[in-house]
Structure 1
Amino acid sequence: MIVALHEGFYGASSGTGFSNRAFLTALARLLPVGRLAVITPHLPASSGTRDPRWTAEVQHMLKQAEAEIITIPGGHAAVNSVHNCEQLCDLVGEVAVRIASRSGRCLLIGLDVPFLGLAPYTPPAMELLLIPRSTAALTQPQDRNRVRWERAGLRAATTRGGRVGAISRHMRGHLIVSCGLRRSSVVEIPNGLILEETGKPSAVLPLPFPARGGFLLAMGRPVPTKGFEDLLTALHILKDQGIRLPHLLLAAATPDAADGPTPYQDRLASAMHEFGLDATLITRFSPAIRSWLHSPALRAVVVPSREEPFGRVPLEAFAAGAGPVVATSAGGLAQTVVEGETGFTSAPGDAASLAVAIRRAVTVMPRQRARLVQAGTALLRSRHDYEASIGSALDRIAPWALAPIPAADSRAR
């Protein structure tokens, strides 16, 4: 089994990186030893976006599984354009063919958008599974060139018998309706957390001083679809209503701060100043930001996304026993944050609606908060065990990959 990934091997700057690492970890446990190969673009040690600790942990985990690791040219520039994605798919296809030549059967898994164009660069006998964690049609509909490329790649893969993994019911509907894929070609692989992600993190980031008396937490990539401007407007509405609010920690962060804040981060900082909000903007990403979910000073987690194919943050909050969770009903969030059951919800892009949900969260009684957290934890365990989801999907589409290696083959290896 070969896995091609772009983010998650050397570090993470978004939920995609965390999900990809979890996917690799699950495969390393599910597959017989020595049956996994990983292909990823090389990222030099000097890169500001490479996390040494993260990289060492992933490499150690793969070494224990006796996985083969192949790096190819590219780095982060590999996904900057459709042309670069095509080159990346070409390189991955070439390497995958060499690996597959040593095996009687091979499944090539392309994790996320950069690998949706793999079909033309691999032989028809090679089985394909593509797992898009989002699409340009959802997040960048104005980029028609990328939308066309992604849809063409998905259709080319399924036409030759490949499968496409749906990380949520929302994504399944999008793949079938918007991308025109046959239902039989879409396999459900619900996103979730693996066991390691449900405990307390080993790396803890100190809380900024203003947050130590109580805080709201929101985090994600600094892009408009994350709805952070809606969040700031909602807090401004509540402030004008005289509602006393905890400090806001807004981690709208990128992994490389060498070039300074992005224009969107500047907009957020300006809105905070204009509204006179009690808030801290974090612009540099660190995986340890997640440790704040375990802080006893946390009053609520807010996920104000305008579009969200899945959304890992609510599950991470449930795993940490954090809450209440406030989220919009955008996309996959509607699966995990259920109004009055696991959290409080609002309409996407509606700051007034979001203000009402936040007010309910910060005024919730302790007993109700405990019920919400308990229900969220139960949902995580029953529906979003990522290793179980991956194992179930592979058992349906590639049971041969999970079969034990015969003793003779094991001795030869």
Structure 2
Amino acid sequence: MAAEPVGTLSPSPAAGTPSTAQSVAGAGISRVLVALHEGFYGASSGSGFSNRAFLEALALTLPAGRLVVLPTHVPHSDPAFNQRWTLRTQRLLDSVDAQVVPVPCPHPDSASTRDSETLCQIVGDMARELLADAPRAHVIGLDTPFLGLAPHMTESRVGLLLVPRSTTKLVEGRNDRVSWERGGLFAAVCRGARIAAISSHMRTHLKHQYNVPAWAITDLPNGLLLYEGANPPSGLAPVPVPPRARAGFLFAMGRAVESKGFDDLLAAVTLLRDRGMRLPHLVLAATASTRYPTPYQRHLRDKVRELELDVTVLGRFSPVYRTWLNSPALRGVVVPSRAEPFGRIPLEAFSAGAGPVVATRVGGLMETVLEGETGFTAEPGDPADLADAIRRALLITTRERDQLRRQGHALLTARHDYGATIRAYVRDHIPWAMEPVGPERRTR
């Protein structure tokens, strides 16, 4: 997620945040503790939506009183904070008697090794205090800022699962950050932790680029809670599409970074226009949670103006954009990524009955968007090939579109039921967590 720079993280509690000791309840209960940096207070990327789905699936799987959640604190004034989202998350966790203990530090800059290491140290200290009286415990770190948790988790009775949804080497390649991630994964493997692979692509990537042994990798394929597509995300009310999109539109969304391939999409649209093809309006949600446009967002807007394209560029992130997958004016969903660990957007489209989906043949997208079966594909970084895939998608018949939608939904339900995935993990790896928690032990 794009974020404004933050200062050095401090282990001192933030104002108004309960101390760890004050939040401990139910001593003597075996615990499952989840630490997450995005997805509790809101989501500005697919990782945030996936983290929220993981948390919900786990909350509905474990018996009441078993779960402890450590979200990285996001203040109300932060652009990443969504009040309605937060309230729904809190109500969910209250309904299962989960403890929520905010991590008392600013939200980390995801590119900063120092911020992530400090966050891991703070979470490790909090986990030791929260789990001091737990006979057994299992800690889950959701996403890359927690890859350095293992050195701070010294208790042998505490199991550890790390869930990297991407890596720096996959999308950026900064050597210092890659070294930190690799060191954290090595330490985790040495203490017997499990490393989750969210796709077959990520399994291969972790094994060959980060030297994680195959025996330490647990397949935990990303997916959706199957009822997610039935309603707007997190209960958000649908909002109208931009005015120019009401007669029909193509839709692309994702973080405003070069690896998402939005330059290739604009080039493909330009090629189709110059060939005389009538195109629907393009809604491009290249978003960040910063207060002001990022340099890359300014670049995209300048390019749209320079080429005089029929495109609406949206820069400020909002989860309501995903409600547009349900719009009857939607003509197609485009995912032009140059790198993609998994790619959640095609599944969201399948769940909403949207489509057709056009995606590049890269990373996890190759497992969900299959040429002629669930969508149309193109080579990454190849605007001409992407233009041809978009053209094929726009020229299909109603019958062909319906068939793509049915096959996409079948793939979603067969392979990417996230609730079933999380339940299977708990059953197979921490079966003790399914044992009921006695009501006398849950007394606060």
Instruction: Give TM-score, length-normalised by structure 2.
Output: 0.90
* Distance across 2 between alignment mates of 1:395 and 1:222: 38
Question: Aligned in 2, Cα 1:360/1:58: closer, same or farther, shift over 3 Å?
Answer: same
Question: What amino acid is the match of 2:287?
Answer: A
Question: Aligned in 2, Cα 1:385/1:302: closer, same or farther, shift over 3 Å?
Answer: same
Q: State the partner residue of 1:306.
A: 338
The within-5 A match list for 1:10-409 is 10-77=41-108, 79-125=110-156, 126-141=158-173, 143-201=174-232, 202-256=236-290, 258-259=291-292, 261-405=293-437, 407=438
CA contact (8 A) 1:325 1:343 kept: yes
CA displacement, residues 151-205 of structure 1 (integer Å, 9 cap, x when unaligned): 1101110111000011000001111111111111000111000134121314112
* Distance across 2 between alignment mates of 1:377 and 1:388: 16
Unpaired runs of 5+ residues, structure 2, are 1-31
Instruction: Give TM-score, length-normalised by structure 1.
Output: 0.97
* Distance across 1 between alignment mates of 2:269 and 2:294: 22
CA contact (8 A) 2:226 2:413 kept: no
SS at structure 2 position matched to 1:46: coil
CA contact (8 A) 2:264 2:382 kept: yes
SS at structure 1 position matched to 2:107: helix
Question: What amino acid is the match of 2:130?
Answer: I
CA displacement, residues 241-275 of structure 1 (integer Å, 9 cap, x when unaligned): 1111000000001123x22x211111111221222
* Distance across 1 between alignment mates of 2:108 and 2:421: 31
- Percent identity among equivalent residues? 53
* Distance across 2 between alignment mates of 1:22 and 1:370: 27
Question: Aligned in 2, Cα 1:18/1:408: closer, same or farther, shift over 3 Å?
Answer: closer
Unpaired runs of 5+ residues, structure 1, are none
Question: What amino acid is the match of 1:369?
Answer: R
SS at structure 2 position matched to 1:75: coil
Q: State the partner residue of 2:29.
A: none
CA drift of 1:397 comes to 1.6
RMSD: 1.3
CA displacement, residues 73-100 of structure 1 (integer Å, 9 cap, x when unaligned): 2232354511111110011001111121
* Distance across 2 between alignment mates of 1:293 and 1:412: 44
CA contact (8 A) 2:108 2:119 kept: no
CA contact (8 A) 2:249 2:330 kept: yes
CA drift of 1:212 comes to 0.3
